Amino acid sequence: MSEHWIHVRVPATTANLGPGFDALGLALDLWNEVWVRPAPTPQVRVCGEGEGLPLDANRTVQAVHYFYQRVLGQTPPPLDIVQYNRIPLGSGLGSSAAAALSGLLAASALSGHVLDTAAFLRLATDLEGHADNAAAALWGGLTVVVAEGDDLHPYRFTPATWQIAVVLPRVDLSTAAARAALPRQIALEQAVYNLGRAALVVQALREGDLALLRRAMQDRLHQPYRLPLIPGAAEALARAYDHGAAAALSGAGPSVIAFAHTDMAPIAAAMQEAFRSAGVDARTWLLTPSLNGAAWAWVEAPDNPLTE
């Protein structure tokens, strides 16, 4: 058994950011960590969020196998995998993209077959079906992804300093269900409504312009169809705006994310109370943007992830 491990860190992400459906992503300072090494027999241990996750639903393990089979044309060796998840599963915070990138980066490092970042984005998008979360997790900061056929063109911007509250209701909403709620066609005026606002969201996040972000972070492409699936979410958004923040669904939901330049605890509490009034318990994270993306390194041992 190897005495050294590959250590991979991948940040949480929030996508869409209101009007930027499937194009905008922002990395958040909340990290999943994975340690991987060759072993005589395979072993997977998961702690933190998703503890007890069945092996056949473990996206990190799936991604390791995908890399070896797709890139190398072979089966991976037996591996000892330790995962410490801080990103809640099914939350709208990019947990699936983070897990996929963890497996892809670990497999690349272990095999010695290093790819460029664009190639990792392509592989992650093949696994995920969309590139917004994966791009932000890879590059950090604020990202915009433009697709031209099978080609993906990511662009990175540096966001200003923001205080962020994420409120996650105890609602079971899969990404597949959230996507199934969307119409296949939209009116021209709805598309026009979103176009200018998506551009202004990028500007507002870069400049730290809260007043602009409050105006720009409105959407008519996905939120009107997803909010009815999340009891209390529409009221949580309204509470955030009442307290001076800008807010939107985080990704496909069910999390609601709010941005401001002040103490976010009262804003988070108001959003949490909106969910409680709808009969739904909710958890809260107070975060900031991350300018750093995913990274890996060789280490001697996991940093006690099973006892942290």
Q: In this model, does residue 150 exceed pLDDT 90?
A: no
Q: What is the pLDDT of residue 119?
A: 96
pLDDT band of residue 2 (cuts 50, 70, 90) is: low
Q: Looking at this protein, which amino acid is placed at residue 296?
A: W
Distance CA 245, CA 146 (A): 28
pLDDT band of residue 307 (cuts 50, 70, 90) is: very low
Q: What is the pLDDT of residue 52?
A: 81
pLDDT digit string, tens, across residues 217-275 = 999 999 999 999 999 999 999 999 999 999 999 999 999 999 999 999 999 999 999 99
Residues whose CB falls within 8 Å of the CB of residue 61, separated by 6 or more in sequence, listed in order: 44, 55, 81, 103
- Judge whether 274 and 232 are in contact, CB under 8 Å: yes
Distance CA 103, CA 64 (A): 5
Read off the tokens for 174: 């899969």
Distance CA 249, CA 155 (A): 22
pLDDT digit string, tens, across residues 102-144 = 999 999 999 999 999 999 999 999 999 999 999 999 999 999 9
Shortest CA distance to 18 belongs to which of 194, 166, 179? 194
Helix (H), strand (E) at residue 226:
helix 223-226
Q: What percent of the chain has a predicted confidence (pLDDT) above 70?
A: 98
pLDDT band of residue 53 (cuts 50, 70, 90) is: confident
pLDDT band of residue 26 (cuts 50, 70, 90) is: very high
pTM of the complete model: 0.95
Domains, the chain, ordered by start: 5-158+290-299 (3.30.230.10), 163-287 (3.30.70.890)
- Judge whether 97 and 134 are in contact, CB under 8 Å: yes
Q: In this model, does residue 305 exceed pLDDT 60?
A: no
- For the sheet containing 246-249, what is the strand order? 246-249, 256-260, 163-169, 282-287
